[in-house]
Structure 1
């Protein structure tokens, strides 16, 4: 039986849940860096299991936003 609220199948790969990977990857990040990094991980993690190309485009959008912020673009 699957639990689509607490353990959705599209967020589990092997024995690892996406939320755990995001927690580990963003431990030393704050604010927009943590948020955008988490979103990139989320969309790249689930793209094949959920929304395909749409999730890859979302991943790219958040990655471009993170890069722009790190490059000093004040518009993001």
Structure 2
């Protein structure tokens, strides 16, 4: 049985939990990775939506960087 609060199945598909990776990134990059990693795993019917959300965060990060705001 999966623990949907502490270790959701859609985040434990890979050798490392997604949160362990995303905590090393800024908000936009971490969220993009989160949506890419879980695309189609949480809800197969929303795979494209997950990828579109990732694209939104990537676009936001590019816009932020183009304005001269580098990641910390």
Please indicate the TM-score interval, normalised by the length of the shorter structure. Answer: 0.7 to 0.9
Unmatched 5+ stretches in structure 2: none
> Which of 4, 20, 28 does residue 36 from structure 1 map onto?
28
For the aligned residues, what is the CA RMSD?
1.5
Higher deviation after alignment, 44-53 or 58-67: 44-53
Matched residues in 2 for 1:38 and 1:15: separation?
A: 17
Local SS of the residue matching 1:13: coil
User: How many positions carry a matched residue from both structures?
Assistant: 65
Higher strand share: 1
Unmatched 5+ stretches in structure 1: 27-33
